[in-house]
Structure 1
């Protein structure tokens, strides 16, 4: 009975390896070519390499696995050395060695091996698309920006200490995370302008980035409007659309810190979101093709970077300074300072102000009227802060186009909440 079970398990491993090898081999066979310039391996070679790996792993000898692996690698090196084609490459040689390793992996984890085979085959089949993307579509400025963003995300961010310094006033990791958020927002907007029609790119990227930071989105769109390469009206519409996320996140914060407030907040938040969405989409649709010159797709200058590191760093520093000021005021004045600090926090992030206020008590507590009034005041302060950010980042034309929508959706929230109360 045990022998039958072992035989079935071994056959499953070999069948899995054969399937992975055939999958990769069929793709290589279609590109192998004919005659003296044909490539090293095709469907049979890949299937046999994968079966060899599975068989070596089933035997259980580490030395045998290593020896067969060296043999496969030697075959690949020999084939590359004897290649007489005008454009030699090592893709097939590397893929053959990978097929052998996938066969070895089948003895340990067949699902992982199959996933790796599918991923490898996808990369092999997408050769032309990947070459066109890297050679023709990507611009040098985008490559440089991508390298900077990857270095900050993978190398710098993990090294930044994630602990509060100066008696808890400042966390460097939070500052770095805010900077990365700003850079990602600018990068997404840049990619959206290249992939989508102008109106679609602005609307979708604004809504998505608004869930990260509506204030930062307004600032990023303002910096682009100041350059004069995009329509101010369309940028302003996208900025107001990002405020839909602000209304949604107020409900999310309430659900997290004080669910009882949902009864009071869902209707004001819905009213504010509807006004922001309608106003923003009207502005975006009203722009001529989304651009000043009437074209339907943004015409970016050649070699354009995906983001501006200096501008993002300045915005991150400003928001961090506001947060430090809130903490100092809270320590100085206690509970009264906390409420005042929440209003100051609304200058940068209304969600932090919302959480600080709602934890004071539920809608049936004695603190409820004061909390509701402070929340409405915080929203009004936040509207003024966003308008000021629009003026500082995009100039007076951008601010005049953005501010009415921000004020309108804020007044909708405040009006419904006052009536609802």
Structure 2
């Protein structure tokens, strides 16, 4: 009042904070107007509680602060340009993608433009520039999905994906353009790797198909020859019972072998779809392995030495693991040829968070030129004795399906050792299996 009487101009509307009897602070908006009341000068004062409005303003300020924080710390580069292409703002991620310093940023943001103009650094957009120009002039949206650029500072190659959004003012003209720039280099590399893996799998499928056809032809050739011989005998009335019986047996064995090859191929190709992790006790697996092969071991005069500390259960599948171990055991039995004192040693022990299993035989060994190929599908040096070359390939695939590993060492004329590592079973580890290629 004294200030008004002194001639000082006061705001007609201003905000004050009142304190209630219970100590609460109440923001109020008050206005003070001079009026005539009953012929005398008077002050007309209004006061309004603006607590709710203040809460809304504070919430908006907090929301704006939150939005700015999102932009500032976003892993995606966010920049804003004027309708003439002048850089108005950019976050840290944008600067990191393009490798610009703070000084360069300041120079970009102080560079005035009277009309739309693209810089030399925009040349990477190439064929997209006409469409981008329309966004700046007419509005709309443009997505550049995958484009190769070179970081001007590090000189390395990047792949980026960009989104351009035009924002118009109240008159409908483009005021500014918001640009989202994402570095997709790692994703692109991963996609190329997957593509390479798929191509490799396709080539492997072609090799398997070709070898499969070859194996089936080889298996069925004796059957075809035998059936022709039987047919010839029937046409000449040369019905020699023993000879017909012999050729019938050859045909039957050939057809059975062809069916076995087909079954093995089917099992091998379906392994990835039969991922069934469970807790497996190695003692039980080895007990079943030796029981099911006792007759073959006795017939071949093979002595088995087996030892293990029991250990923890492993992460695998009992049926599939038994098949994998069985393939190694049969491979060792076949490797003895005419050797005497045939012995296979099976051992397993804990190795940190896994179990290490070894199969060691004193057979003829594997020549060095073949050691790197024994896990390849259809690779076999014993096809004359019925080998298909799928046994060890299946073993490797089964072991790796459950996150394990298998390796082999061999010395010709001394023996061969297969070493397998299988992870211990953990109730929370099932989701980490099956990642091998």
- TM-score of the superposition, structure 1-length normalised? 0.23
Highest RCO, 1 vs 2 (Cα 8 Å, sep ≥ 6): 1
Q: Which has the higher helix share?
A: 1
- TM-score of the superposition, structure 2-length normalised? 0.22
